[in-house]
Amino acid sequence: MSTPKTRQEWQALASTLEFNGQAFINGHYCPAVSGETFASISPVDGKTLTEVASCDQADADIAVLAARQSFESGVWSQLAPAKRKKVLLRFAELILENREELALLETLDMGKPISHAFKGDVPATARAISWTAEAIDKVYDELAPTPANQIGMVTREPIGVVAAIVPWNFPLIMAAWKLAPALATGNSVILKLRKNRH
């Protein structure tokens, strides 16, 4: 953990942030199909952080198609569990490595005190992802009790595309609660933030 910053240091860091309000679909930032946006206003000072792509059904259809194609390609869904575990553990490490920026983004976006975001939400997000990653190779399939001439197996397999919606008030940690299990089991995920439009 880095040394706690003063208010002025956090403000200086905030002035260097760049916001991208576009949708992120299939590895690329893109505007909404309609071209419409809405302002993301910080509750900290009432200033507009950025214009956010106002996605609707057409954008959701594009995201679902891309997620389905990714799932069916097997690049993630068929990846060995040990490799998925390694990727998710690295994801958790990167969250901690970028702790200051993520805490600041959380604060500016939803008004949480920076000390809470820095000491609570960001490390809790990393822990949620790493905990789930560690479970990947510890949750096994099962053989159900059956007569001697039968075998009943319970297997755990990805289901495909998972859609997750997170609320405005704890977006980072709640995203981790939904992303981590879905990704750990090999699914593709579409994540939507429920943003208040001020």
Question: Based on C-alpha coordinates, what's the Rg of the chain?
Answer: 20
E strands, the chain, where?
23-25, 28-30, 37-41, 48-53, 142-144, 152-154, 161-166, 188-193
pLDDT of residue 3: 63
Please name each of the domains of the chain with its CATH number: 7-193 (3.40.605.10)
- Could you report the per-residue pLDDT of 33-58, keeping only the tens digit for each? 999 999 999 999 999 999 999 999 99
- Could you report the per-residue pLDDT of 77-118, keeping only the tens digit for each? 999 999 999 999 999 999 999 999 999 999 999 898 999 999
What are 12's two structure tokens? 């200086």
pLDDT over 70 (residue 7): yes
Which one is predicted more confidently, 5 or 87? 87
Mean pLDDT of the chain: 92
Question: Locate tokens 């959380």: which residue?
Answer: 106
**Cα angle at 193 between 104 and 28, to 5 degrees?**
85
pLDDT of residue 198: 45
Among residues 152, 172, 184, 163, which one has the least CA distance to residue 85?
184
Give whole-number Cα distances, 77 to 72, 83, 85, 161, in Å: 8, 11, 12, 10
pTM for the whole structure: 0.87
- Could you report the per-residue pLDDT of 58-72, keeping only the tens digit for each? 999 999 999 999 999
What are 105's two structure tokens? 């983004």
pLDDT of residue 193: 83
pLDDT of residue 2: 61
pLDDT over 60 (residue 197): no
- Could you report the per-residue pLDDT of 119-161, keeping only the tens digit for each? 999 999 999 999 999 999 888 788 888 898 998 988 888 999 9
Give the β-pairing of 48-53 and 142-144: unpaired
